Structure 1
Amino acid sequence: MWGSEVIDREIAGLVDRSVAEDGLVVVLTGAGVSAESGIPTFRGPEGYWTVGSAVHTPQEIATAAMFARAPEAVWGWYLFRLGVVREAEPNAAHRAIAELDATLSDRFVLITQNVDGLHQRAGSTPGRTYEIHGSLGRMRCSEPCQRELLPLPDEIPAKDRDEALTDHERQLLTCPRCGAWTRPHVLWFDEAYDEAWFRLDSSLDAAGRASLVVTVGTSGATNLPNLVVQQVVRSGGALLDVNPEDNPFGDLARRVERGAAIRAPASQAVPELADRIAVAASAPR
Structure 2
Amino acid sequence: MDNDKAIRQAAAWIRDADGLLITAGAGMGVDSGLPDFRGKEGFWRAYPALRHYGFSFEDIANSAGFASNPRLSWGFYGHRLALYRATVPHAGFDLLLRWASTMKHGAFVFTSNVDGQFQKAGFDTERIVECHGTIHRLQCVEACTNETWPADDFTPTVNETTCLLENEMPTCPHCNGLARPNILMFGDWQWVEEHADRQGKRLATWLESVERLVVVEMGAGRALPTVRRFSERHGPRVIRINPRDYTIASAIGLGIPGTASDTLQLLEKSLVVARGPDA
Coarse TM-score class (shorter-chain normalised): 0.7 to 0.9
1:283 maps to none
Kept in 1: contact 2:132–2:184 (CA 8 A): yes
1:114 maps to 113
1:47 Cα deviation (Å)?
Answer: 4.1
Unaligned runs of 5+ in 1: 281-285
Residue identity opposite 1:212 in structure 2: V
Unaligned runs of 5+ in 2: 275-279
1:216 maps to 218
1:231 maps to 233
CA–CA separation in structure 1 for the residues paired with 2:65 and 2:231:
31
The equivalent position to 1:256 in structure 2, one of 250, 259, 276, is 250
CA–CA separation in structure 2 for the residues paired with 1:258 and 1:163:
44
* Pairs aligned (count): 263
What is the root-mean-square deviation of aligned Cα atoms in Å?
3.5
Kept in 2: contact 1:97–1:124 (CA 8 A): no
TM-score, length of structure 2 as denominator length: 0.78
CA–CA separation in structure 1 for the residues paired with 2:14 and 2:118:
24
Q: Is 2:133 the counterpart of 1:134?
A: yes
CA–CA separation in structure 2 for the residues paired with 1:95 and 1:69:
42
1:87 Cα deviation (Å)?
Answer: 3.2
The equivalent position to 1:269 in structure 2, one of 256, 263, 270, is 263
In structure 2, relative to structure 1, the CA distance for the partners of 1:65 and 1:274 (3 Å cut) is: farther
Residue identity opposite 2:196 in structure 1: F
CA–CA separation in structure 2 for the residues paired with 1:204 and 1:223:
19
CA–CA separation in structure 1 for the residues paired with 2:220 and 2:5:
25
Residue identity opposite 1:106 in structure 2: H
Question: What SS class does the counterpart of residue 12 from structure 1 fall into?
Answer: helix
In structure 2, relative to structure 1, the CA distance for the partners of 1:135 and 1:103 (3 Å cut) is: farther
CA–CA separation in structure 1 for the residues paired with 2:143 and 2:259:
40
Question: What SS class does the counterpart of residue 179 from structure 1 fall into?
Answer: coil
In structure 2, relative to structure 1, the CA distance for the partners of 1:169 and 1:277 (3 Å cut) is: farther
Question: What SS class does the counterpart of residue 56 from structure 1 fall into?
Answer: coil
Question: What SS class does the counterpart of residue 267 from structure 1 fall into?
Answer: helix
In structure 2, relative to structure 1, the CA distance for the partners of 1:122 and 1:14 (3 Å cut) is: closer
2:35 maps to 40
2:277 maps to none
Identity %: 27
Report 1:69-108 matches (<5 A).
69-104=68-103, 106-108=105-107
1:65 maps to 64
TM-score, length of structure 1 as denominator length: 0.76
1:198 maps to 196
Q: Is 2:185 the counterpart of 1:188?
A: yes
